[in-house]
Amino acid sequence: MLVISPKGLTGKIELGENERVALVGRSGSGKTLSIKTALCLNSGLSMIDDKSFCETQDFSIVNAVFQEPNTQILSTSLEEELKLISRYHPVDLELAKQLMGKYFTRDFFKLSDGYKRRYVISSVLSFEPKYVLLDEPFANVDREGTSLIAGIIPRGSLIAEHRIPVIREIVDRAYVIEDGRIEEIKKDKLFDEDFLRKNGLRGFKVDKIDTDKGKELLNVNVRGINLRVREGEIVCLVGRNGSGKTTLIKSLAGKIYAIFQNPDLQFFYETVEREVGDDETMRKLGLYKLRERSPYALSYGEKMRVLIASALASKYKVVALDEPTAGLDGVNLISFVELLGSVLNSKRGVIIATHDEEIINICDKIINLS
Amino acid sequence: MRVNFVTGIFFVSALTAAGILTTAVIPFLATIPLIRRKIIIIVEIAIISISLLILYYTSRFYFYPYSFRGLLYVNLYFIASEYIDKASIVDVLGEAGVPIAVALSYYPYLTSIVRDVVFYSRARKKNVFRVTLPIIVQLVKSVQDIWITYNLKLFGNFRKDKIKITSSEIVLLLYGFATLCLSFLLKV
Amino acid sequence: MKKWVRTLLFSAIFSVAAFAVDAGFTVGLSSYAISPILDPFLEFTIPLMIIVIGFNVINSRPAALEIALISALVYAASSLLFLVPGIIISGVIIEGFCFLIGYRGLKASLAQGGTFAVINGILSFVFGALFLGAHSIIRVTPTLILILTPAFLVEGIVIGSISWKIFNYMMKSGIIKS
């Protein structure tokens, strides 16, 4: 049994070898902190069968996969990575081959998002740790990618995740972190929309934004698609990962204000104030108190708010958002929808590229690229 | 076909030497069968043809080895990335080779960061010097994450594998040696 | 994990990143053909900043030497051999004075930027002219070197101070964790 008690949180997380356990909670509640505590990368207690894990820090027993696959590789293909790892400790090549199939030798940077996650998980599973800790393994992965990942999560896994509808199907038990407290909850709670809303979790569909549609702001033919956006309208581009949603938005650069997936690559100034450049917009979007902070040091939800504020402060009439809800918890999702309301009320139009089924309700028009 | 690092370096060195010491036509032609992506070959043939035509009409035809030499280096880069088993670098350099091999595998990721940031800055009409901050912040964050990955995956004591010579290695070495000899024998 | 592994891994990634940015700019400007002339100038912008910030982040011996050797290796592998002597010599000198004044701080950053820019700038300019066969067009005379040296020094010091400012910002905002 692995027992984790992170410093700064009350309660503990217990993980048995033969179960899959969910860890849910709002952004910044301490999910990643708990995983880092288990690995002794943070203060707190990490015990295995009543012995401190930090004394040995034997990663063949406890290991983890974090959210960003791009910085969790050691070589350019899983085959080469495992050869490298085998210079340090034994790996099960056959298991990894089975998990990755024909992509075992494929260049990591040519894999789909789902297979990139599968690569990093397979790499860790190939040395068969007793306990695997997964930090948001399903973030920003489409339905196909989700099943690719869900199919290989072994017993002895703790899964920290926002996407409740995906994990409630595969876990045996769950913990929720709320106000600095870790509490075990019944699995049924993950199906209870009221509970999810109350605890700021995802798993419910958001309501439509009621706005008046005005004049046409954009009418372009791009990649064989006629894209038209009116004032107060949300046009959604849907389709699996790799179907061309991002490429389509990129091709509109110059005509629209586009916000892409990694916020950190889109901040060009040291403070929120300089990034947004307009006091009134900052006040309207509740960013004024953060104006002297570094945009890089904010939470994901706050970063999205800064980017949307920059869009509002710009002269552009159409704002495009590429997978904007990927890292948002329930509270941030509701506040994101409210933000969209502000954008629409300022006589702008919005394009959203997404495969998030929970926000489909807000789309006035849907273009399927699959 | 995968070859170990030593064989790969011998092959690349033999062809580079042939490229520097001769007109580079033979070593360039020798690399063509080893390039897997046909589009690269088509583009290179087009480049060579245009270069030769320009040199001919500008009465500078004696510059032609430079065109072949440039493309030879490009092809050797593709061949090295395609055929050299990167894990074997550590069998030559020992444990000190591991961080270098790991860092080299991040080259595509690092270039993609630069590409994306430059694109976003242009899309938002930012001054080109503004790209510095996001590139460096992302780099520093990535380095720290890679270090965690390194610790989590490469635990235990390092053991070198013996370098094995397979039939593929012998074929490639002979091919490199034959190219070197032919480059001197055939005065192209 | 051993401390030398961390130093080497970080050095290797900063070297590869500086090269990736340099290559990205060269390709972006479609200037590979004139890279022997252009590279000393391109290299002194973001790539040099990455290297100076690398020294500050790593903050342990022998970061300067390792970054120089690995950078030399990647430039040599890309047929940009004229940059290799300058990179290695500047690496050795920077390692020497960092032994005395440390790797981190404003003073260290200014010295690192200035040294790298002057030595690498002059040497790569000389070797670049030889490499291109352009010494008949650009005559590398002592007068030219005398003019270029203060220009490279100023550029290196400016880049060093910007690097320190960015490093300091990352420390204060919690992006750098140690």
ipTM (interface pTM): 0.87
Question: Does the distance separating the beta carbons of A123 and B134 come in below 8 Å?
Answer: no
A64, A70, A254 member nearest B152 (Cβ): A64
Domain that holds residue A263: 216-368
The first and second tokens of residue B81, run together, are 């990335």
Which is it for strands A225-230 and A216-222: parallel, antiparallel or unpaired? antiparallel
When scoring C1, C6, C21, C170 by the number of chain B Cβ atoms within 10 A, the one with the most, hence best to mutate, is: C21
Q: How far apart are CA B127 and CA B135, in angstroms?
A: 14
Please indicate, yes or no, whether residues A278 and A178 belong to a single structural domain of this protein: no
In a domain, A209, yes or no: no
Nearest alpha-carbon partner for A363 in A240, A238, A239:
A238
Omega before residue C62 within 30° of 0, cis: yes
Other C-beta atoms closer than 10 Å to the C-beta of B156 total 14
A58, A74, A265 member nearest B149 (Cβ): A74
Q: Which residue of chain C has the CA closest to A294?
A: C173
Give, in order, the Cα–Cα distances in Å from A269 to each of A274, A307, B129, C171. 6, 12, 11, 16
Please indicate, yes or no, whether residues A272 and A345 belong to a single structural domain of this protein: yes
Q: Which residue of chain C has the CA closest to B134?
A: C166
The first and second tokens of residue A276, run together, are 């947004």
Residue partners of C70: CB distance under 8 A and separation at least 6: B100, B103, C11, C12, C15, C16
- The span from the first CA to the last CA of chain A, in angstroms, equals 44
Q: Would you place residue B54 in the very low, low, confident or very high pLDDT band (cuts 50, 70, 90)?
A: confident
- Longest C-alpha distance within chain B, in Å? 64
Please indicate, yes or no, whether residues A152 and A241 belong to a single structural domain of this protein: no
Beta bridge partners of A173: A21
> Residue C174: its chain A contacts at CB < 8 A?
294, 297
Please indicate, yes or no, whether residues A320 and A224 belong to a single structural domain of this protein: yes
Q: Which residue of chain B has the CA closest to C32?
A: B70
> Residue C14: its chain B contacts at CB < 8 A?
139, 143
In a domain, A210, yes or no: no
Other C-beta atoms closer than 10 Å to the C-beta of A95 total 16
Q: B8-28 in b/e burial notation, b at 16+ Cβ within 10 A?
A: bebbbebbbebbeebbbbbbb
Distance of CA A309 to the CA centre of its chain: 21
Nearest-Cα distance to chain A for C172, in Å, is 9
In a domain, A296, yes or no: yes
For position A198, what pLDDT does the model report?
86
For position B5, what pLDDT does the model report?
84
Q: Is A229 helix (H, G, I), strand (E, B) or coil?
A: strand
For position B178, what pLDDT does the model report?
94
| Contact of C162 with C49, CB cutoff 8 Å | yes
Q: Write the pLDDT tens digit of every residue in B97-117.
A: 899 889 988 988 988 898 889
Q: How far apart are CA A23 and CA A15, in angstroms?
A: 11
Last residue of a domain, one of A198, A229, A248: A198
Which amino acid makes up residue B114?
V
Please indicate, yes or no, whether residues A54 and A165 belong to a single structural domain of this protein: yes
Locate the domains of chain B by residue range. 5-185
Which amino acid makes up residue A84?
L
Please indicate, yes or no, whether residues A26 and A130 belong to a single structural domain of this protein: yes
Please indicate, yes or no, whether residues A158 and A253 belong to a single structural domain of this protein: no
Give, in order, the Cα–Cα distances in Å from A268 to each of A328, B128, B129, B144, C166. 23, 10, 9, 21, 12
Last residue of a domain, one of A172, A198, A224: A198
Q: Which residue of chain A has the CA closest to B83?
A: A80
When scoring A270, A274, A293, A303 by the number of chain C Cβ atoms within 10 A, the one with the most, hence best to mutate, is: A270
Please indicate, yes or no, whether residues A250 and A171 belong to a single structural domain of this protein: no
Spell out, as residue ranges, where chain C has pLDDT lower than 70.
1, 24-44, 78-80, 128-140, 178
> Residue C5: its chain B contacts at CB < 8 A?
95, 98-99, 150
Q: How far apart are CA A76 and CA C71, in angstroms?
A: 20
Determine contact: C59 vs chain B, CB below 8 A. Answer: no
Number of domains in chain A: 2
Which chains lie within 8 Å of chain C at 3 or more CB pairs, if any?
A: A, B
For position C130, what pLDDT does the model report?
67
B77, B99, B110 member nearest C5 (Cβ): B99
Residue partners of A177: CB distance under 8 A and separation at least 6: A9, A23, A24, A25, A26, A29, A30, A31, A34, A183
The first and second tokens of residue A221, run together, are 């033919």
- Count of CB pairs separated by less than 8 Å, B with C: 88
Nearest alpha-carbon partner for A24 in A177, A146, A172, A131:
A177
Provide the 8-state DSSP code for A324: T
Q: Is A174 helix (H, G, I), strand (E, B) or coil?
A: strand
Provide the 8-state DSSP code for A103: G
A245: domain CATH number is 3.40.50.300
Which chains lie within 8 Å of chain A at 3 or more CB pairs, if any?
A: B, C
C1, C16, C78 member nearest B106 (Cβ): C16
Question: Does the distance separating the beta carbons of B149 and A88 come in below 8 Å?
Answer: no
Q: Which of residues 251-310 of A touch C (CB under 8 A)?
A: 270, 293-294, 296-297
Give, in order, the Cα–Cα distances in Å from C115 to each of B116, B122, C130, C160. 31, 33, 23, 10
> Residue A293: its chain C contacts at CB < 8 A?
173
**Would you give per-residue pLDDT tens digits along chain A (370 residues)?**
999 999 989 999 999 999 999 999 988 888 999 999 999 988 888 999 889 999 888 999 999 999 889 999 999 899 989 989 999 999 988 888 888 888 899 989 988 777 888 899 999 999 999 999 999 888 878 887 788 888 888 899 999 998 898 899 899 999 999 889 999 999 999 998 888 988 888 888 888 888 888 898 989 988 888 899 999 999 999 987 777 888 899 999 888 999 998 899 999 999 999 999 888 888 877 888 889 999 999 888 788 889 988 988 888 899 999 988 887 888 888 888 888 888 898 889 999 998 888 888 899 999 988 7
Please indicate, yes or no, whether residues A76 and A103 belong to a single structural domain of this protein: yes
- Count of CB pairs separated by less than 8 Å, A with C: 12
> Residue A270: its chain C contacts at CB < 8 A?
169
- The span from the first CA to the last CA of chain C, in angstroms, equals 16
Other C-beta atoms closer than 10 Å to the C-beta of A15 total 24
For position C34, what pLDDT does the model report?
46
Please indicate, yes or no, whether residues A192 and A220 belong to a single structural domain of this protein: no
